[in-house]
A and B are shown apart, each in its own frame.
Chain A
Amino acid sequence: MESNLTNRRIAEYLSQGKRFDGREKLEYRNIKIETGISKNAEGSARAKIGETEVLAGVKLGMAEPFTDSPESGVLMVTTELSPMASEKFEPGPPSKESIELARIVDRSIRESHVIDLDKMCIKKGEKVWALFIDIYPINDAGNLIDAATMAAMAALLTAVFPETDKEKEKIEYGTFTTKKLPLSEAVPIAMTFYKIGDSIILDPTVEEEEASEARLTIAMSKDKKEEVINAMQKGGSSPMSEKEIFHIIDSAEKEFGKIYKTFEEQIKSK
């Protein structure tokens, strides 16, 4: 827990346009992505933003489809805010924060339609692919939402289908095809803006998160040519003015291209 003094100092500094670590207000720390970090997963990745580190893995299973979408695969995103990552997290069933994090990542992926769930049907009304994306923060040095989304997307982009028996009845666990998942170019990137005093920043450190009274996550993607917002989540106890929100929307539009490019370069360099 940071003292009010530290919080005030961070806000004061920011009002002069400065951050403790010398970054610009909307500047991210170094982003590093590593894929294929867990051999038994259909897809896996490690995303690092500064010292923040998140692992994500994709596993495929078979399931009965939902009755209202008999031809669609099932997507499930879970997060475990393991106490390994921070002294703030406690062992036990998933906390509200952990569920919120998973649901933000879930909505970013689902609503961007980066994955075509309709192409994940095995037998209409009876059997579809179930896609699990499981996210584990390892070290929380701030900005878990953005790092978690990157880890999940990197795992998804590198995932392949497992082998099945001839009748497509069962998965041959531990064996993989080279067939990728049905993905589009609309890769979602989550940007979480934090409000500290009158300033709006991206990619906060833990101290900055503690000093902030509100946050707004904007997940954007670009399909073919147009940039769209796919998911938003306002967090924190303070409300935001319309002016602040418009500023955030403008900033998101401006920053999306840069962050997406970094993300893409990291994935391709592998």
Chain B
Amino acid sequence: MAYTKRVDGRKANETREIIAKVGVIPRADGSAMFAFGDTIAIAAVYGPRQLHPQFLQNPERGILRCYYDMMSFSVTERKKPGPSRRSNEISMVTTKALESALHLENFPNNVVDVFIQITQANAGTRCAGINAASMALAHAGIPMKELVGAVSVGQIGGNVVVDLIKEEEDYEEDGEKMATDIPVAIQLKSKKISLLQLDGKVKPAELKKAIEMAREACEKIHEAQVKALKEVKE
């Protein structure tokens, strides 16, 4: 049986409701909130600031450090507070997804820190985090080549869909896991892909279709990001 009708009634290429807001953490140099339906991420940017200890400094360019984590109560079963192997990996891939969109060559010996927290989770948290972080970097006035948008696409029982919810990620038929989750981040002007992960099982043709679908969804995400950034009053 193919997965033709999505559990929440969305079309295959339809994301959940997107909410994007800038300036949610006044103390930070830049901040933003991004939500895909029930998945909510907030991000705060501090910097550019001098990097300590000194031996970590790069005299040729500034460096970017992203820290992703989930609040303990954001998931159904409490997550132990503090970073885990999972969050450390996501922090790393998030950093990689964003750093090539920045002009950090003018900030030698400096660091830009991005702190991402998931306050409520229903799948797609790393993508929501990247979207929030990208807006927060722009809000902080860090010179950027382009914004970065991210969305998870997937294949469920032979059908390609965008922005999976938890129930879809866990979709099973006869006790067999049927969903493949593919988070994708796209730099929105050059259209280059800066995050690509996959776990599951997918045919090459389906994967290509999924990436195309991610690109379309990212256009919409980009619009929401730009709109939110334009609304900032300060």
Contact = CB atoms under 8 A, between A and B. Distances in A.
Contacts of B73: 38, 40-42, 44, 57-59, 132, 134
B70 to A, nearest CB: 10
A59 B81 CA distance: 12
Interface in A45-90: 51, 53, 55, 57-59, 61, 78, 80, 82-87
B119 interface: yes
Interface in B35-60: 38, 40, 42, 44, 46, 49
A59 B117 contact: no
Nearest to A141: B27
Contact of A84 (B25, B74, B121): B25
Nearest to B91: A91
A78 B25 contact: no
A158 interface: no
B27 A86 contact: yes
B81 A134 contact: yes
Contacts of B74: 38, 40-41, 57
Contacts of A139: 25-28
B82 A80 contact: yes
B27 A140 contact: yes
Interface size for chain B: under 10, 10 to 19, 20 to 34, or 35 or more residues?
Answer: 20 to 34
A138 interface: yes
B25 A132 contact: no
Interface in B43-94: 44, 46, 49, 67, 69, 71-78, 81-82
A39 interface: yes
Nearest to B113: A83
A134 B76 contact: no
A138 B42 contact: yes
A22 interface: no
Nearest to A130: B78
A136 B72 CA distance: 9
B46 A83 contact: yes
A40 B120 contact: yes
Contact of A37 (B77, B119, B121): B119
Interface in A132-162: 132, 134, 136, 138-141
B115 interface: yes
- Grouping DSSP codes into helix (H, G, I), strand (E, B) and loop, the B interface class, with mixed when no group exceeds half, is loop
B72 A82 contact: no
A38 B125 CA distance: 14
A120 B113 CA distance: 42
B28 to A, nearest CB: 7
A80 B73 CA distance: 13
B82 A93 contact: yes
Contact of A136 (B24, B67, B76, B117): B117
Contacts of A59: 72-73, 78
A138 B25 contact: yes
A134 B69 CA distance: 14
Contact of B27 (A55, A85, A94): A85
B115 to A, nearest CB: 4
Interface string B161-205: 000000000000000000000000000000000000000000000
Contact of A51 (B26, B67, B82, B120): B26
B119 A132 contact: no
Contacts of A132: 72-73, 78
Most buried by A among B24, B40, B82: B82
Nearest to B28: A84
A14 to B, nearest CB: 23
B78 A61 contact: yes
A200 to B, nearest CB: 25
A173 interface: yes
Contacts of A39: 38, 120, 122
Given A37-B120, A138-B117, 9 more contacts: A44-B73, A61-B78, A80-B81, A80-B82, A85-B25, A94-B82, A132-B78, A134-B71, A134-B73
16 contacts: A39-B38, A39-B122, A40-B120, A41-B74, A51-B26, A78-B72, A84-B25, A84-B42, A85-B27, A87-B46, A87-B49, A91-B67, A132-B78, A134-B73, A134-B78, A136-B117
Interface of A: 37-42, 44, 51, 53, 55, 57-59, 61, 78, 80, 82-87, 91, 93-94, 132, 134, 136, 138-141, 171, 173-174
4 residue pairs, one from A and one from B, having the closest CB atoms: A57-B73, A41-B73, A59-B78, A174-B76
